[in-house]
Amino acid sequence: MKQTIRVTVNGRVYQEDVEPRILLAHFLRENIGLTGTHIGCVVGECGACSVLLDSKVVKSCLHFAVQADGREITTIEGLAKDGELNPVQEAFVKNYAFQCGYCTPGMVMTSYALLQTNPNPTEAEIRKALAGNLCMCTGYVQIVDAVKEAAKQQSTAKV
Amino acid sequence: MADKKYIGARSRSKEGPRHVTGRGLYTDDFTLPGILQAMILRSPHAHAKINSVDPSEALKNPDVMAVVTPEDVKRQTKPFKPGRYAAGLKRPIDEYAGAIEKVRYVGEPLGAVAARSRGAAEDALELIQVDYEPLRPVVDVREAIKPSSATLFDELGTNLAWQGSLQYGDIAAAFKSADRVVKENLKIHRYSSTPLEPFVVIASYDAASKRLTVWVTAQVPEVIYDGVREALGLEDVRVIIPDVGGGFGQKIHLIRKYVVLVSLLAMKTGRPVKWIEDRSEHMMAGGHACAQEFEAEAAVKNDGTVLGLRFNEYDDVGGSISTLTIHFTNKLNNLSNTYRTPAIHMIGNAVVTNKCPVIPNRGIGKPGMCYIWERMMDRVAQELNLTPIEVRRKNLIQPNEMPYRTISGNVYDSGDYPGLLSTLLEKIDYDKLREEQKKAREQGRLMGIGIVIGVEPGGRNAARDMAIFPEMKEPPGSGGVNGATIKLEKNGTLSLHLGSPNCGQAHETTTAQVAAEVLGTTPDQISTSIPFDSDLSPWGVAAANSGNNFHLYDIGAIHGAATKLREKVLRLAAHVLSTDPKELTIENGVVQVPGSAMKKITFAELGRIAYNNQHLIPEGMEAGLQATHYYTFPHAKPNIVPGADRLVRAQFTFSAGAHAAIVEVDKTTGMVEVKRYMIVGDNGTVINPDVVNGQVYGSAAHGIAVALGEGFIYSSEGQPLTITYLDYGKCSAAETPRVEVVHRPSPSPFTSVGQKAAGEGAAIPSPAAIASAVEDALQPFGVKVRELPLSPEAVWRLANDNPETERRSF
């Protein structure tokens, strides 16, 4: 009863046979072997499994793998190029915007997606955008600061 | 610190690059050939007798490899040794990894399944036939201790599993000479820090060599190591702890049960087995902080001096006896808070109920102790018509009294509590805030200001418990020990092996800064090995990512190991350069006679000699450049073990913080908005400001969220109603205030570089600060805040529905 799907993940095409009940989050971790996408609740509350699906940020635990058939996914592993961190990733490192690191991939993906659509968000906009990504460690201060800094870096880079 | 290059300076995070690229390695990221997936069989009942468990239907699926039943647990494992928190039990009670005859809380594990896929294991669970005989659930603490209540443990004959008291100073004289006795009943609810990564265990058993290896997301290796040995009767045990996705105490204790159950599956099947807890399992059975009720009374003089404090505590410890007194005994750690009060009487009652067992959670009983003090200080001020600031100032321990021995024997190493308070009032512009509040009230807005202060103890001393249980025959270990190894490699870089696992406190970054400082190299030349591996890591009892141990034992061990290695480096260099070690300095990994172009040698050259070139190594010197140091706190005496006077050093370093919460309450909805939250903190010498700030922000955010409604709720039948993050009320970035932190350190005179703790941090005073601020906001209604959480519903009731009824629930 498996179904064959073709999914582009971080620019590479994967063809896999999956059970229809397999969640996208599990597919990415177990079938493709990309373990940077973390699972904290499996019911769409925590955001640790956030990835980009056709450029929009989604919670990969709320999608079945079969729903990604023919579509493009970017995971946390797809942001850095040849060890060169993306500005959002670099800002997270610089600002200590993580502690245990478990929510971090999801936080980075959501922040990245925010800055794609809103390159200069206010603090309130950042906090609202991140409201679907929970962090138990940081109290969010350094995460918000990192997103602000990434926004600044990106706008400087564009000039 | 001006004379330090790396200690106190910003330093690039060593953990960051792997976390932001998804290359952190957590237990669930590992796999092994032939690995099976496990599911845990859990009780749907709060209280029931287990008549039988029949796995035969489940085993019919060829993908199901094994089922563990209560009978297997009883036959193939031994109960855990009664822990020190169960030391007060009149009669020992066996606690196995799974329920045997009875289940005592919803979610209690009673068995497990291993199958070739997670799906098959999930399906199999539903086919296991368990015949339960439901019993009357025991949910309310006050009902639980009535003779008419059903009992959880028939052996005890009562749900009041332990009762005891401890008295310091002349409490009778204090109350006799008081001008007034101020009384209050207070409550704190059940909550947890709910780490984002739930419990995960992998177990692999090699039957031929009787060797068990477990990978586990645990905080304290000793608990796992000892738990597995006790339960399974094995001695060859290896515990590996990879990256841990948040701990906060949750991953210390209860997780050992699951390690045993998963290991049992691995032993039964001869295959490695992995188990991942799901979110709802964690919320119902992963462990909760204890709901605590206090009947408190303070003996006071009219000038605000507190002569004595007495509290009678009722702890709702849930359905296990293994952490019976944990929230009470931990109050010895901050029993005096920041105050000089010369007499304290504590009375404890541990009540078992059909709820999730309590576990250590960020500060354990300490937030409760601080809550008692700070609520009482406000109450004293109200009754004496003094300001809350005056009353606190009147009772604070003074900086010229440091080191200060408290009434229970703690020695406060350093601190300037009046200074913390003054700086806070100045930085937040307290007088102006009171003006604003006046205006706000005129406009009908409910603005409140709460100011509290609290100590944050660090370090460990399990012998503390003997003060509470003088009948304890076998004293638990005293003090703490932990190690570290540092090695200069043949290419001149350094590798560090810590004794502790970490769960997000930047162990790698911070230890590299300390080692670089001591050795005269740069942090980027140092790598720290992870994961923790009990076969390789130099660990002792304080290899515990808990209890604010890192700053004392790990930093102490790194500092010690680096100091030893520095001596070796200098000795070898002096020999090679034909000079005296005293003539040499080390900078950026180069050892040299200052000013001499000739007499210098790099770490890389020394590394090559130490491992490759015997004839250049001085006679009698050990080859290689490696040093291990096991650290114990050198100033732990006297009172490391309590004597007849029960005086004891419960912890060893004392950070402190003064907190200001500015809130506004919406009377129509009961919503509390935190407008500002400021902390003036003393964490001793700050090694890495970003890391310490992160600990303070995070711990404050949690304490604030707890005070404002986060928490576990049970139905009257003992069913947990809050098993998702949403129902539990977890705060997101949108609701969490931006915490402001000001450092005002008083370095410890007793630690390696003056450092003190920061991990439990602001979680200790922040619930009290919010309570104080909300009460102040509601002052126009003359109501008192006695209970947490201050959920919108609770605040609405206070503001709309409470003509200061004496709503004492006991």
B600-624, pLDDT tens digit by residue?
999 999 999 999 999 999 999 999 9
Q: How far is B408 from chain A (nearest CA, A)?
A: 33
Query: Last residue of some domain: A59, A78, A97?
Result: A78
For residue B142, is pLDDT > 50?
A: yes
pLDDT digits (tens, 9 = 90+) for B94-104: 999 999 999 99
- Domain range for B749: 396-459+652-800
| B 732-761 → A contacts, CB under 8 A | 732-734, 736, 738-739
Instruction: Give the C-alpha separation, B373 to B56, whole Å.
Output: 57
State the pLDDT at residue B84: 75
Name the residue among B12, B17, B739 with its Cβ closest to that of A139. B739
Position B184 in a domain: yes
B448 plus B484 within the same structural domain: no
Mean pLDDT of the B695-722 span: 98
Confidence of residue B87 (pLDDT cuts 50, 70, 90): confident
pLDDT digits (tens, 9 = 90+) for A51-78: 999 999 999 999 999 999 999 999 999 9
Confidence of residue B119 (pLDDT cuts 50, 70, 90): very high
A153 plus A91 within the same structural domain: yes
What the block records as the tokens of A31 is: 């079938």
Confidence of residue A159 (pLDDT cuts 50, 70, 90): low
B151 plus B35 within the same structural domain: yes
Confidence of residue B475 (pLDDT cuts 50, 70, 90): confident
pLDDT digits (tens, 9 = 90+) for B249-270: 999 999 999 999 999 999 999 9
| B 677-696 → A contacts, CB under 8 A | 690-691, 693-695
Percent of chain A's residues with pLDDT above 70: 99
User: In 3D, which of B782, B772, B777 has the Cα closest to residue B377?
Assistant: B772
Query: What sign results for the dihedral spanned by CA atoms B383, B387, B393, B396?
Result: positive
Give the count of domains, chain A: 2
Position B789 in a domain: yes
pLDDT digits (tens, 9 = 90+) for A141-153: 999 999 999 999 9
State the pLDDT at residue B808: 36
Give the count of domains, chain B: 3
State the pLDDT at residue B469: 87
pLDDT digits (tens, 9 = 90+) for B377-435: 999 999 999 999 999 999 999 999 999 999 999 999 999 999 999 999 999 999 999 99
Name the residue among A35, A46, A139 with its Cβ closest to that of B196. A46
What the block records as the tokens of A43 is: 């019911």
Separation of CA B108 from chain center: 23
Angle between helix axes B417-427 and B430-442 (nearest 10 degrees) is 50
Instruction: Using an 8 Å CB-CB cutoff, list chain A residues near B681.
Output: none
Pairing verdict, β A72-74 and A3-9: parallel
Pairing verdict, β B160-168 and B344-352: antiparallel
pLDDT digits (tens, 9 = 90+) for B567-600: 999 999 999 999 999 999 999 999 999 989 899 9
pLDDT digits (tens, 9 = 90+) for B238-250: 999 999 999 999 9
Q: DSSP alpha helices (H): ranges in B465-615?
A: 465-468, 507-519, 555-576, 603-612
Q: How far is B286 from chain A (nearest CA, A)?
A: 14
Angle between helix axes B766-777 and B366-384 (nearest 10 degrees) is 30
The 8-class DSSP code of residue B196 comes to: S
Residues with Cβ within 8 Å of residue B280, at least 6 apart in sequence: B723, B724
- Domain range for A60: 3-78
B492 plus B454 within the same structural domain: no
Q: Would you call the peptide bond into B737 cis, given omega within 30 degrees of 0 as the criterion?
A: no
Instruction: Give the C-alpha separation, B696 to A138, whole Å.
Output: 8
B449 plus B519 within the same structural domain: no
B196 plus B261 within the same structural domain: yes
Q: How far is A159 from chain B (nearest CA, A)?
A: 26
Confirm or reject contact between B12 and chain A (CB < 8 A): yes
Position B723 in a domain: yes
What the block records as the tokens of B443 is: 């406009």
A19 plus A67 within the same structural domain: yes
Position B190 in a domain: yes
User: In 3D, which of B117, B278, B266 has the Cα closest to residue B200?
Assistant: B278
For residue B804, is pLDDT > 60?
A: no
Which one of B11, B13, B18, B20 would you mutate to disrupt binding with A, by most A Cβ within 10 Å of its Cβ? B20
B617 plus B690 within the same structural domain: no
Instruction: Give the C-alpha separation, B179 to B198, whole Å.
Output: 52
Instruction: Give the C-alpha separation, B372 to B383, whole Å.
Output: 16
Instruction: Give the C-alpha separation, B30 to B32, whole Å.
Output: 7
| Residues A61, A23 contacting (CB under 8 angstroms) | yes
Position B71 in a domain: yes
Tell me the HSE value of B581 on the side-chain side, using a 13 A CA sphere: 8
B447 plus B508 within the same structural domain: no
Query: What residues pair up with B475 in beta bridges, in sequence order?
Result: none
| Residues B483, B628 contacting (CB under 8 angstroms) | yes
| Residues B752, B563 contacting (CB under 8 angstroms) | no
pLDDT digits (tens, 9 = 90+) for B447-474: 999 999 999 999 999 999 999 988 776 6
Confirm or reject contact between A62 and chain B (CB < 8 A): no
**Nearest Cα residue in chain B from A100:** B504
Instruction: Give the C-alpha separation, B172 to B179, whole Å.
Output: 14
Instruction: Using an 8 Å CB-CB cutoff, list chain B residues near A112.
Output: none
State the pLDDT at residue B490: 97
CB neighbourhood size of B705 (10 A): 27
**Nearest Cα residue in chain A from B248:** A137
Mean pLDDT of the B535-559 span: 94
For residue B297, is pLDDT > 90?
A: yes
Could you give the 3-state DSSP secondary structure of residue B417?
A: helix
Q: How far apart are the first and last CA of chain A?
A: 53
B256 plus B317 within the same structural domain: yes
Tell me the HSE value of B795 on the side-chain side, using a 13 A CA sphere: 30
Residues with Cβ within 8 Å of residue B651, at least 6 apart in sequence: B333, B410, B457, B458, B459, B460, B461, B547, B548
Confidence of residue B801 (pLDDT cuts 50, 70, 90): confident
Instruction: Give the C-alpha separation, B234 to B63, whole Å.
Output: 28
Could you give the 3-state DSSP secondary structure of residue B67?
A: strand
Tell me which amino acid residue B241 is.
I
- CATH number of the domain enclosing A50: 3.10.20.30
Instruction: Give the C-alpha separation, B655 to B648, whole Å.
Output: 18
Query: What sign results for the dihedral spanned by CA atoms B446, B452, B457, B463?
Result: negative
Tell me the HSE value of B93 on the side-chain side, using a 13 A CA sphere: 24
Q: How far is A75 from chain B (nearest CA, A)?
A: 9
User: In 3D, which of B196, B200, B186 has the Cα closest to residue B379?
Assistant: B186
For residue B746, is pLDDT > 70?
A: yes
| Residues B759, A100 contacting (CB under 8 angstroms) | no
Residues with Cβ within 8 Å of residue B496, at least 6 apart in sequence: B484, B485, B486, B487, B508, B511, B512, B515, B526, B527, B528, B529, B558
A108 plus A146 within the same structural domain: yes
At residue B472, φ and ψ (nearest 5 deg) are -55, 120
State the pLDDT at residue B82: 77
B683 plus B743 within the same structural domain: yes
Mean pLDDT of the B627-641 span: 96
B491 plus B352 within the same structural domain: no
State the pLDDT at residue B803: 59
B152 plus B235 within the same structural domain: yes
User: In 3D, which of B721, B715, B708 has the Cα closest to residue B795?
Assistant: B708
For residue B807, is pLDDT > 90?
A: no
For residue B809, is pLDDT > 50?
A: no
B609 plus B745 within the same structural domain: no
| A 11-30 → B contacts, CB under 8 A | 19, 21, 29
User: By CB neighbour count within 10 A (0-12 exposed, 13-18 middle, 19+ buried), where does B808 fall?
Assistant: exposed
Residues with Cβ within 8 Å of residue B15, at least 6 apart in sequence: A98, A101, B24, B506, B508, B509
Helix-, strand-, coil-residue percentages of chain A, each rounded to 5: 45, 20, 40
User: In 3D, which of B277, B78, B132, B275 has the Cα closest to residue B196?
Assistant: B277
Position B743 in a domain: yes
Instruction: Using an 8 Å CB-CB cutoff, list chain B residues near A141.
Output: 693, 697, 738-739
- CATH number of the domain enclosing B555: 3.30.365.10
State the pLDDT at residue B529: 83
Mean pLDDT taken over chain B: 96
- CATH number of the domain enclosing A136: 1.10.150.120
Instruction: Give the C-alpha separation, B418 to B422, whole Å.
Output: 6
Contact A140/B736, CB-based, under 8 Å?
A: yes
**Nearest Cα residue in chain A from B31:** A30
A92 plus A70 within the same structural domain: no
Instruction: Give the C-alpha separation, B361 to B759, whole Å.
Output: 11
Which one of A1, A61, A141, A142 would you mutate to disrupt binding with B, by most B Cβ within 10 Å of its Cβ? A141
Position B810 in a domain: no
Instruction: Give the C-alpha separation, B437 to B676, whole Å.
Output: 13
A72 plus A101 within the same structural domain: no
Residue for token pair 């790598």: B527
For B665-713, give the secondary structure using H, E and C.
ECCCCCCEEEEEEEEEEECECCCCHHHHHHHHHHHHHHHHHHHCCCCCC
| Residues B678, B659 contacting (CB under 8 angstroms) | yes
A100 plus A139 within the same structural domain: yes
Contact B196/A133, CB-based, under 8 Å?
A: no
Helix-, strand-, coil-residue percentages of chain B, each rounded to 5: 30, 25, 45
Confirm or reject contact between B117 and chain A (CB < 8 A): no
Position B474 in a domain: no
- For chain B, what's the residue count? 810
Instruction: Using an 8 Å CB-CB cutoff, list chain A residues near B733.
Output: 126-127, 130-131, 133, 135, 140, 143-144
What the block records as the tokens of B59 is: 């085993």
Name the residue among B21, B26, B278 with its Cβ closest to that of A76. B21
Number of CB pairs, chain A paired with chain B, less than 8 A apart = 178
Percent of chain B's residues with pLDDT above 70: 98
At residue B190, φ and ψ (nearest 5 deg) are -85, 130
Query: Last residue of some domain: A39, A60, A78?
Result: A78
What the block records as the tokens of B678 is: 């400021």
Confirm or reject contact between B72 and chain A (CB < 8 A): no
